[in-house]
């Protein structure tokens, strides 16, 4: 939450370090929400990401939210081409990337215009003054220059000649204007790094790696970075820098991680743990492609990645790999999810382990490809023909994607079933610090390939889990045929017997229902024994809901939060848990999907709070809704 500038305590002494004492004032803040905004080509994602790393290394808790257009390069200077990166960094635990930026860097008029409405009152705006040319103003749809027409009165505006100063810093290197222009983001990063007293060494090291083959560009970028830093130090413009003390967080080794990276690593870890090769069959689609990209770099583990001709081939190839004994994954987003349905049904029917990852985006149809939504839940539940149940797991935060991907594999193998893993575009690209897991302490994943021909039948079942044996081609004596046609219990031979069909349908359904034994007791954040209001949520709404509930509880309201990881089957104790509350509100980025399941399963008269703007819930929106709910 935005801390009003008045409440910021002044720190007496500059940061202890070997450096000479800073001349300038040094103000302590609890946390800051900053947004870097510019044209798609201005390198704002990169500046944001590096600033995130600097802040993480400084010990802050962090949460990020990149926001980029679907177009790769919309016409320069237009609103459609604005790309943003928001970071909340804090000296205490945080759950979201922040409702309203208190600081914004705007590299051109379009970036200013597109983001102004989101800013906190009295926010700091740093602009590249020189980018506010007549033609740029026109492209952004400004009639007059906001830097001079008084329309930014409510904000603290700092006009910096970023372009000129960057060019100056590169003087004598003989770079052309275009190359110099492209270093502006590093200048800005340097300036902001000074403003928040972030050491820039990690960025310099990073630049070194990135431009290993181009020492000239390394030189240019690091010069721009240092010039920005020194500019902050010397300019009259900034009277003070800020200090955000390290957060008290759980001890351990950390790295900053996005949801997509965590998903890829979770799959990899599960494969390593199971001792089986990993196979990913996938077709590129935003925002899922990065999982394909990342897994493609782990070939030595071994990891097979197959960029298929379409999503159908992506999932089908994974079904084939599962038949052969690999940890089989497919990744996609909504439109691809539709295409995969029939092949997933085949995996349900033939009881093969497979993980279908849906990194949800705003739909229907192409919708808003780079924006998150949670409207694929009922498709994951019911979007196949016939009785086709499968477990569904949803990740709550970027780092939780690791645990959920891992768990999805574990359950798929233990129950010989396809599993749907749901994340979304927000989790995919946003990041947070992650305590590195100890590979030795990850839950066990046991794979027992069937080898004994004695008594083997394709659909003979484990007594507890009801899972069938994984009997892979190449095993002597186990030759058998499976397929999509209704099959006889045990033998798997084609069978059209009505009673047998019902037996098999019910058995598969019981098998999936039995996955509840994997689900730990439901955790209630707040009043375990019940109270006035429970908020039930799933997926990426976690941060906003948790922060809102915390705030409400700090105000003495009886509000609790239940967050679901397992969406099918639902936890066995969920109905009883929810019944202990007078009211149940289901918060979702759709028009009400989980709520339908809750009402149908438990006959609980829950009500929904929904948003489908391709943007996460703001904490304040949920706080307001809580107030209404408790009044009404």
Partner 1 sequence: MATALTRKDFVSDQEVRWCPGCGDYAILAAVQKAMPEFGIPRENIVFISGIGCSSRFPYYMDTYGFHTIHGRAPAIATGLKVTRPDLDVWVVTGDGDGLSIGGNHLIHVLRRNVDLRILLFNNKIYGLTKGQYSPTSEIGKVTKSTPLGSIDYPFNPIKVALGAHAAFVARSIDVEQKHLGEMLKRSHDHRGAAFLEILQNCNIFNDGAFNDLSDKTIKADHQLVLEHGKPLVFGKNRDKGIRMNGMRPEVVAIGNGLSVDDLVVHDEKNLSLAFMLANFEPPMPTPIGVFYAEERPTYDALINKQLADAKAKQGPGDLRKLLNRGDVWDVN
Query: Which of the residues 465 through 484 are near partner 1 (CB under 8 A)?
Result: 472-484
Instruction: Select from 53-61, 167-175, 510-518, 548-556 the region that touches partner 1 (CB under 8 A).
Output: 53-61
Both tokens assigned to 94: 């945080």
Q: How far is CA 364 from CA 385, 428, 552, in A?
A: 20, 19, 34
Binding to partner 1 (CB under 8 A) within 322-341 occurs at: 322-326, 328
Decide if residue 592 touches partner 1 (CB under 8 A).
no
Please report how many Cα atoms fall inside a 13 Å half-sphere around the Cα of residue 594, on the Cβ side.
Answer: 32
Choose which of 76, 217, 312, 378 interacts with partner 1 (CB under 8 A).
312
Decide if residue 527 touches partner 1 (CB under 8 A).
no
- Coil, strand or helix at 336: helix
Decide if residue 342 touches partner 1 (CB under 8 A).
yes
- What's phi and psi for 243, nearest 5 deg? -125, 130
Quick one: which of 319, 293, 320 has its CA closest to 307? Answer: 293
Nearest-angstrom CA–CA distance, 157 and 420: 47
Decide if residue 279 touches partner 1 (CB under 8 A).
yes
Nearest-angstrom CA–CA distance, 458 and 620: 55
Nearest-angstrom CA–CA distance, 208 and 585: 50
Decide if residue 141 touches partner 1 (CB under 8 A).
no
- The least CB distance from residue 56 to partner 1, in Å, is 7
- The least CB distance from residue 250 to partner 1, in Å, is 7
Decide if residue 437 touches partner 1 (CB under 8 A).
yes
- The least CB distance from residue 354 to partner 1, in Å, is 10
Instruction: Select from 247-255, 392-400, 509-517, 586-594 the region that touches partner 1 (CB under 8 A).
Output: 247-255
Choose which of 117, 172, 174, 251 interacts with partner 1 (CB under 8 A).
251
Nearest-angstrom CA–CA distance, 251 and 211: 34
Cβ closest to partner 1, residue 343 vs residue 562 = 343
Choose which of 23, 253, 441, 454 interacts with partner 1 (CB under 8 A).
253
Expressed in angstroms, the distance from the first to the final Cα of the chain is 26
Both tokens assigned to 294: 């990342």
Angle separating helix axes 184-195 and 201-210, nearest 10 degrees: 160
Nearest-angstrom CA–CA distance, 316 and 330: 9
Nearest-angstrom CA–CA distance, 301 and 551: 45
Cβ closest to partner 1, residue 318 vs residue 381 = 318
CB 411 within 8 A of CB 356: no
- Coil, strand or helix at 46: helix
Q: How far is CA 443 from CA 235, 259, 274, 403, 619, in A?
A: 54, 20, 10, 10, 34
Choose which of 80, 138, 208, 301 interacts with partner 1 (CB under 8 A).
301
Decide if residue 490 touches partner 1 (CB under 8 A).
no
How many residues bind partner 1 (CB under 8 A)? The answer is: 71
Cβ closest to partner 1, residue 150 vs residue 386 = 386
Nearest-angstrom CA–CA distance, 9 and 407: 44
Instruction: Select from 5-13, 73-81, 311-319, 505-513 the region that touches partner 1 (CB under 8 A).
Output: 311-319
Binding mask 182-221 for partner 1 (x = CB under 8 A): --------------------x---x---------------
Strand-strand pairing, 82-90 and 103-106: unpaired
Choose which of 80, 436, 449, 490 interacts with partner 1 (CB under 8 A).
436
Nearest-angstrom CA–CA distance, 88 and 55: 10
Decide if residue 53 touches partner 1 (CB under 8 A).
yes
Decide if residue 59 touches partner 1 (CB under 8 A).
yes
Instruction: Select from 51-59, 66-74, 88-96, 193-201 the region that touches partner 1 (CB under 8 A).
Output: 51-59
- What's phi and psi for 488, nearest 5 deg? -65, 140
Instruction: Select from 117-125, 147-155, 160-168, 243-251 the region that touches partner 1 (CB under 8 A).
Output: 243-251
Decide if residue 281 touches partner 1 (CB under 8 A).
yes
Cβ closest to partner 1, residue 127 vs residue 318 = 318
Binding to partner 1 (CB under 8 A) within 344-403 occurs at: 345-346, 350
């Amino acid at each position: 939450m935005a801390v009003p500038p008045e409440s910021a305590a002044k720190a007496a002494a500059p940061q202890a370090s070997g450096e000479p004492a800073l001349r300038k004032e040094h103000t302590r803040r609890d946390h800051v929400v900053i947004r870097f905004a510019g044209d798609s080509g201005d390198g704002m994602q990169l500046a944001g990401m590096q600033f995130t790393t600097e802040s993480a290394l400084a010990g802050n808790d962090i949460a990020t939210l990149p926001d980029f257009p679907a177009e790769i390069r919309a016409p320069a200077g237009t609103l459609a081409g604005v790309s943003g990166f928001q970071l909340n960094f804090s000296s205490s635990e945080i759950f979201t990337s922040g409702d309203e930026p208190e600081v914004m860097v705007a590299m051109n008029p379009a970036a200013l215009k597109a983001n102004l409405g989101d800013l906190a009152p009295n926010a700091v705006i740093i602009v590249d003054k020189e980018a506010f040319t007549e033609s740029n103003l026109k492209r952004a749809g400004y009639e007059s220059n906001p830097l001079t027409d008084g329309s930014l009165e409510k904000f603290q505006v700092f006009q910096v000649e970023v372009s000129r100063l960057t060019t100056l810093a590169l003087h004598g290197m003989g770079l052309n204007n275009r190359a110099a222009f492209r270093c502006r983001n590093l200048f800005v990063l340097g300036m902001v790094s000074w403003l928040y007293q972030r050491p820039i060494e990690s960025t310099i090291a990073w630049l070194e790696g990135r431009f290993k083959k181009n020492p000239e560009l390394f030189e240019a970028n690091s010069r721009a970075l240092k010039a920005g830093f020194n500019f902050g130090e010397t300019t009259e413009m900034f009277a003070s820098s800020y200090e955000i003390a390290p957060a008290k967080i759980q001890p351990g080794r950390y790295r900053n991680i996005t949801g997509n990276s965590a998903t890829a690593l979770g799959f990899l870890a599960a494969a390593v743990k199971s001792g089986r090769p990993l196979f990913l069959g996938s077709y590129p689609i935003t925002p899922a492609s990065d999982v394909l990209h990342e897994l493609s770099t782990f070939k030595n583990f071994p990891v097979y990645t197959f960029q298929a001709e379409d999503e159908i081939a992506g999932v089908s190839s994974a079904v084939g790999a599962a038949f052969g004994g690999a940890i089989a994954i497919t990744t996609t987003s909504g439109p691809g999810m539709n295409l995969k349905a029939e092949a997933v049904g085949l995996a349900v029917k033939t009881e093969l382990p497979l993980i279908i990852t849906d990194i949800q985006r705003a739909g229907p149809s192409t919708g808003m490809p780079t924006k998150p939504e949670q409207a694929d839940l009922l498709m994951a539940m019911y979007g196949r023909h016939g009785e086709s149940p499968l477990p569904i797991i949803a990740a709550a935060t970027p780092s939780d994607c690791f645990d959920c991907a891992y768990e999805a594999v574990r359950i798929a193998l233990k129950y010989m079933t396809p599993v749907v893993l749901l994340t979304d575009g927000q989790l995919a690209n946003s990041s947070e610090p992650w305590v590195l897991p100890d590979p030795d302490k990850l839950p066990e994943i046991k794979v027992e390939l069937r080898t004994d021909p004695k008594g083997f039948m394709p659909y003979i079942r484990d007594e507890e889990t009801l899972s069938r044996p994984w009997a892979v081609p190449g095993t002597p004596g186990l030759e058998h045929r499976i397929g999509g046609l209704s099959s006889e219990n045990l033998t798997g031979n084609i069978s059209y017997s009505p009673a047998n069909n019902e037996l098999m349908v019910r058995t598969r359904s019981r098998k999936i229902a039995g996955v509840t034994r994997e689900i730990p007791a439901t955790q209630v954040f707040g009043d375990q024994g019940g109270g006035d209001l429970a908020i039930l949520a799933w997926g990426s709404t976690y941060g906003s809901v948790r922060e809102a509930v915390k705030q409400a509880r700090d105000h003495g309201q009886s509000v609790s939060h239940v967050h679901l990881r397992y969406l099918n089957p639902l936890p066995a104790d969920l109905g009883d848990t929810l019944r202990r509350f007078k009211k149940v509100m289901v918060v979702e980025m759709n028009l009400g999907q989980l709520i339908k399941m809750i009402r149908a399963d438990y006959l609980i008269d829950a009500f929904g709070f929904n948003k489908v703007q391709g943007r996460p819930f703001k904490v304040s929106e949920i706080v307001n809704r809580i107030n209404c709910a408790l009044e009404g």
